[in-house]
Each structure stands twice: as C-alpha cells, then as structure tokens.
Amino acid sequence: MSIIPPDSPRSNHALPGGSSLKPVEKHDIDHLEDVDEDVDVEASRDQELRSRNRNVSAKIQNPLAGLSKDRLFDLADQFTREHGFEEKQDLFRRAALVSQNPNEFELIPELTEDDRYWLRREVTNKWDQARSLYFLVIVCSIGSAIQGWDNTGANGANLSFPNEFGIVENTWLVGMINAAPSITVAAFSAMLTDPINHFIGRRGTIFVTGLFCVFPVLAQAFCQNWYELFICRVLIGVGMGMKITTIPIMTSETAPAAIRGALAMSFQIFVSFGILAGFSSNLIFYRI
C-alpha cells in the first residue's frame, strides 16, 4: 500500500482512463443549507410517533413521556395556534406539563397554587365535577339505550313479518333480515368510525349516526315487502356500528381519569336498559 504525496499529479483524485474527481467546493453544497426547516420538524415528529408506537411491553404508554420541555411547549403552542387559543397559550403549556407527569404535579414549578388546588380536588372530591360533564354523560347514555332498543325493539315482528311477506319457509332469508344490522356493523360500518370521526368529529358522528338509528327504525313500520325491511335494517346497522364505537370514546375522553371507568361503564349499562325496554315493548304490544 502506497501513500500518494499531496503534490503528486494523482492526488487530484485521478481515476483510471484519465478522468478525475474535482475537489468538492463550498458552492457545490450551498443548496443543502437551504433545506426547509419544516422538513426537519416533520421528520422529528415522525420519529417520535414511531418511538411511541414501538410498544414491546404491550402497555398503554403516555404519548408525552420522554419529550423535552421545549418540545412539549412546541406541541402545546401548535395546538393553540391551530384551534384559536393563542390567548391561553400559557394555560395549555402548564396543562401539557401536567399531562406528561400527572402524578408529580406538586413538583412542577410552572404551576400556580390555584392549579395545584384544583388538581388535588380531582382526587379528594372526584365526583364534584361540572354539570356539563354529567349532562354529556346522560345524553351519551340515551344514545346507548337507543342502541339496545335497536337490537331488540323489532324482535316481536318476527312473529308476523315472515307470514306477511310470504317468506316463512325461507329460514335463511328470515335470519338474514334479523341479523342485517349486525352483519352491516361487522362488514363495514364499524370500520367507518375512524374516517368519519376524523372529518366531522365526535359530536358530528353521534348526530349523523343517530339519524340512522331513528328514521330507518320508523320506516320499518311502513315496509310492504321483505327487501324494504332488509334495507331499513341495513341502514340501522350503518348507524349502530359508528355510534357504538364513538359514544364510549367521547365519554372516556371527557371524563377525568379518577372517574373515567365509572362514567364510561354507563354506556354498557344503558345498552342493557335499552334491551330491556325493547323486550318490554314487544311484550306490551304483543296482542296489537
């Protein structure tokens, strides 16, 4: 192995065949310094998301864990700018610090004494919440009860519609009509939850899907043949699939951590209540 002296003709990166490589000059890489800083920010964000999702322990992790204070404040500021809360920037910064370490809020120097007072009350007086929170839970519970009603409210019609539509011998068709809402939920309705929530939000999704759980239910009473009844029950399934997955999420996102489990459980309790109401109505109107 030989060392080429700096003043050698070959020191100018000579290549076989007489070609040579020119030394890289500064103006050749100036364009690299003009790269948009947003690209670096976006790449950093993608890397953070990948690290958060690399959950080998299968435990739910705090998405803010491990972020530096500067990065945490940047995310809080970005949220306030996107949603028009610039005047409350400092409040959202303090909230981000608490969200990152909720069990150590006493040690966060940025918090005021008033902040700490209300955070302590979330533990000592956990049921002392705003009326609007309980109103939201009640409204969501009504939506849950409708879910149970839709599951059972039309069961009494099984005694009559097969004869009415002349399909009493076709048990597969009768079963398909009965199971149409559940089939629709499993086939595509539940999978639409994420994109629909993304575009119109939680409240918008609950409102729109609630329409599917009201008007098709009423339309069943006016069906003149089996395929009209089947279409109505498919439309019911469209609403059921998205509503049954959105209501618990909205309740959980709104409720404080100390009582989140109890309030989120109201969904299933009122689904059962709706099922009871549906079977009761079938019994009440059995002879009508």
Using one digit for the tens of pLDDT, what is the confidence trace for 182-216?
899 999 999 999 999 999 999 999 999 989 988 99
Q: What's the confidence (pLDDT) of residue 116? A: 92
Q: Does residue 185 belong to any structural domain of this protein?
A: yes
Q: What's the confidence (pLDDT) of residue 47? A: 65
**Domain final position from 98, 125, 152:** 125
Q: What's the confidence (pLDDT) of residue 55? A: 54
End-to-end CA distance of the chain: 104
Torsion angle, alpha carbons of 40, 43, 47, 50, to 10: 160
Q: Does residue 217 belong to any structural domain of this protein?
A: yes
Torsion angle, alpha carbons of 128, 129, 132, 134, to 10: -70
Q: What's the confidence (pLDDT) of residue 8? A: 46
Do 224 and 143 have their domain in common?
Answer: yes
- Domain span at 140: 131-286
Residue 150 to residue 271: CA distance in whole angstroms: 10
Residue ranges in the chain whose pLDDT is less than 50? 1-6, 8-35, 37
Do 73 and 138 have their domain in common?
Answer: no
* CATH classification of the domain holding 234: 1.20.1250.20
Do 108 and 173 have their domain in common?
Answer: no
Q: Do 94 and 111 touch, CB atoms closer than 8 A?
A: yes
CB neighbour burial string for 32-60, b if at least 16 within 10 angstroms, e if fewer: eeeeeeeeeeeeeeeebeeeeeeeeeeee
Number of structural domains in the chain: 2
Do 208 and 234 have their domain in common?
Answer: yes
Residue 62, CA distances (Å) to 53, 55, 96, 260, 263 in order: 11, 11, 12, 16, 21
CB neighbour burial string for 249-272, b if at least 16 within 10 angstroms, e if fewer: ebbeebbeeeeeeebbebbeebbe
Q: Do 193 and 208 touch, CB atoms closer than 8 A?
A: no
Q: For the whole model, what pTM was predicted?
A: 0.67
Q: What's the confidence (pLDDT) of residue 41? A: 56
The tokens 């890489």 sit on which residue?
A: 29
Q: What's the confidence (pLDDT) of residue 258? A: 84
